[in-house]
């Protein structure tokens, strides 16, 4: 059982702090597997991109889960082919999807236009969610406070709709991302955050509520759990340790 250093409640959010990334990944995989096993209906699991979740996905791929009821999808995707090294589809497949018998809905980045791809993917997702709401959505957080592909000072932050195409100036690239309203509709959100590079922004969000995109998601979602390692939690003032 992963060793959790502390859990703290700040508003409707809970912050779970783990000694190291391996304990974080084990605990996150257990939490997800338990949630899937707690129901007998179709269960949707939104997957975060980037690097942090890979260890959780590898653990989850080993869990005793009835994957036949699970629909996996991506909270965001880079506008690259699915075999590109930057592809979240590729990362999710190599660490989890190709190792389990679940359903995986990936955005089609071979579309000519990112807006069409985003709209099509959003329509597909809405048919897959139980009562139109995602069950668990996993999210990462960048050191600029972005989450999914919702970046600071970007029009996507206030866009309606389910899934969006957004030009990310800082990366000079298109991204596809779940919208704020879609993320807010989730039954549970789990942020997976690790590393000292995230410590400053995490403290600004948890201790001061600074409205980074990650904070904007957490502020209006129903049931938010931050699962973080000690390095990312190092500057938190509101969590006694």
CB of 48 to ligand 6PG, least distance (A): 5
Q: What torsion do the CA atoms of 113, 119, 122, 127 make, to the nearest 10 degrees? A: -120
Residues 167-226 that bind ligand 6PG (CB under 6 A): none
CB of 140 to ligand 6PG, least distance (A): 2
- Nearer of residues 48 and 180 to ligand 6PG, judged by Cβ: 48
- CA-based Rg of the chain, rounded to a whole angstrom? 17
Tell me how many residues contact ligand 6PG (CB under 6 A).
14
- Nearer of residues 146 and 187 to ligand 6PG, judged by Cβ: 146
Residues 115-144 that bind ligand 6PG (CB under 6 A): 140-142
Stretch 26-65: interaction string toward ligand 6PG, x if CB under 6 A: ----------------------xxxxx-------------
Interatomic CA distance for residues 22 and 202, integer angstroms: 20
C-beta separation of 144 from 151 below 8 A = yes
Q: How many of the other CB atoms lie within 10 Å of CB of 84? A: 13
Q: How many of the other CB atoms lie within 10 Å of CB of 31? A: 19
Length of the chain: 241
Dihedral pair phi/psi, residue 115, rounded to 5°: -70, -40
Task: Say whether residue 95 binds ligand 6PG (CB under 6 A).
Answer: no
Strands 188-193, 70-74: pairing kind: unpaired
- Which run of H or of E encompasses 15? strand 13-18
- Nearer of residues 137 and 239 to ligand 6PG, judged by Cβ: 137
Q: What torsion do the CA atoms of 181, 29, 91, 167 make, to the nearest 10 degrees? A: 20
- Nearer of residues 42 and 204 to ligand 6PG, judged by Cβ: 204
- Nearer of residues 36 and 48 to ligand 6PG, judged by Cβ: 48
CB of 191 to ligand 6PG, least distance (A): 9
Task: Say whether residue 148 binds ligand 6PG (CB under 6 A).
Answer: yes
Task: Say whether residue 76 binds ligand 6PG (CB under 6 A).
Answer: yes
Closest CA to 162 of 205, 204, 197, 133: 133
- Nearer of residues 88 and 215 to ligand 6PG, judged by Cβ: 88
Task: Say whether residue 88 binds ligand 6PG (CB under 6 A).
Answer: yes
Interatomic CA distance for residues 128 and 42, integer angstroms: 9
- Nearer of residues 65 and 150 to ligand 6PG, judged by Cβ: 150
Interface positions with ligand 6PG (CB under 6 A)? 48-52, 75-76, 88, 140-142, 146-148
């Amino acid at each position: 059982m992963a060793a959790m250093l502390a859990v703290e409640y700040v508003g409707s959010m809970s912050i779970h702090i783990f000694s190291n990334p391996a304990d974080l990944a084990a605990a996150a995989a257990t939490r997800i597997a338990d949630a899937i096993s707690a129901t007998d209906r179709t269960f949707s699991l939104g997957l975060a991109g980037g690097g942090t979740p890979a260890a959780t996905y590898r653990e989850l791929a080993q869990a005793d889960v009835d994957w036949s009821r699970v629909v996996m999808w991506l909270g965001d995707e880079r506008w690259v082919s699915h075999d590109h090294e930057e592809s979240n589809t590729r990362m999710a497949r190599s660490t989890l999807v190709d190792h389990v018998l679940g359903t995986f809905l990936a955005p089609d980045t071979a579309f000519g236009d990112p807006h069409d791809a985003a709209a099509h993917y959003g329509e597909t997702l809405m048919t897959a969610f139980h009562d139109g709401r995602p069950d668990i959505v996993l999210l990462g957080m960048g050191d600029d406070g972005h989450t999914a592909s919702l970046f600071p000072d970007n029009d996507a932050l206030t866009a309606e709709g389910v899934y969006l195409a957004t030009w990310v100036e800082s990366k000079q690239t298109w991204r596809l991302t779940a919208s704020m309203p879609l993320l807010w509709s989730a039954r549970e959100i789990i942020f997976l955050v690790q590393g000292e590079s995230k410590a400053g922004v995490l403290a600004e969000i948890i201790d001061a509520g600074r409205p980074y995109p990650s904070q904007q998601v957490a502020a209006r979602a129903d049931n938010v759990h931050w699962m973080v390692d000690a390095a990312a939690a190092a500057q938190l003032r509101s969590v006694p340790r």
